[in-house]
Amino acid sequence: MASKDRQIADMLGPTVTALGYELWGVEHLAQGRHSLVRIFIDGPNGITVDDCAAVSRHAGSVLDVEDPIQGEYTLEVSSPGLDRLLFKLAHYPPYVGETVELRLRRAIEGRRRFKGILKGIEGEDVVVQVDDHEFLLPHDAIEKARVQPRV
């Protein structure tokens, strides 16, 4: 997770938790003078539009007071969805055996993109099988990871 994403997640985590949800992850996408802040929330019974609206109101208030983003921004609140992003190492174990797509910050073995079966976690590494080869990818090298929904 990038430092701005982590800063925003740390700032909003207590608010989201107090509302009864899990802060699944945060994406901050700077686009010139305008930014997009995307917050993913989850709950034991899933997430409704009303849940997103409630979190949006509270998160927007926190962001307005703390002001971590320079310039204008758009705030989006969403469920992680079927093709959920995996932000934390703890997010991976429930998806062992599923197909994942990973994009790395830097190339490992000459490549930055991997699509394969999530085999598990070894220490701080994510194990992905691509064809007949297993790759140990350091979690801190992963820029983005997404579970592929079953068809």
Predicted confidence (pLDDT) per residue in 19-68, tens digit? 999 999 999 998 888 889 999 999 998 999 999 999 999 999 999 888 88
What is the rounded distance in angstroms from the CA atom of residue 21 to the CA atom of residue 143?
25
pLDDT of residue 1: 57
The token pair that represents 47 in the structure block: 């997430």
Question: Mean pLDDT across the stretch 4-27?
Answer: 94
For 10-76, give the DSSP string.
Answer: HHHHHHHHHTT-EEEEEEEEEETTEEEEEEEEE-TT---HHHHHHHHHHHHHHHHHH--S-SEEEEE
Residue 97 three-state SS: coil
pLDDT band at 126 (very low <50, low <70, confident <90, very high): very high
Helix (H, G, I), strand (E, B) or coil at 89: helix
CATH number for the domain running over 89-147: 2.30.30.100
Among positive and negative, which fits the CA dihedral 145, 147, 124, 88?
positive
Question: Is pLDDT at 101 greater than 70 in this prediction?
Answer: yes
pLDDT of residue 40: 97
Task: Kindly list the domain boundaries of the chain, sorted by start residue.
Answer: 3-78, 89-147
Q: How many CB atoms lie within 10 A of CB 67?
A: 8
Measured CA to CA, the distance from residue 16 to residue 128 in angstroms comes to 31
3-state percent breakdown (helix, strand, coil) of the chain, nearest 5: 30, 45, 25
Place of tokens 């430092």: 3
pTM of the model: 0.86
Q: Which CATH class is domain 3-78?
A: alpha beta
66-71: average pLDDT: 84
Backbone angles phi, psi at 50, to 5 degrees: -65, -35
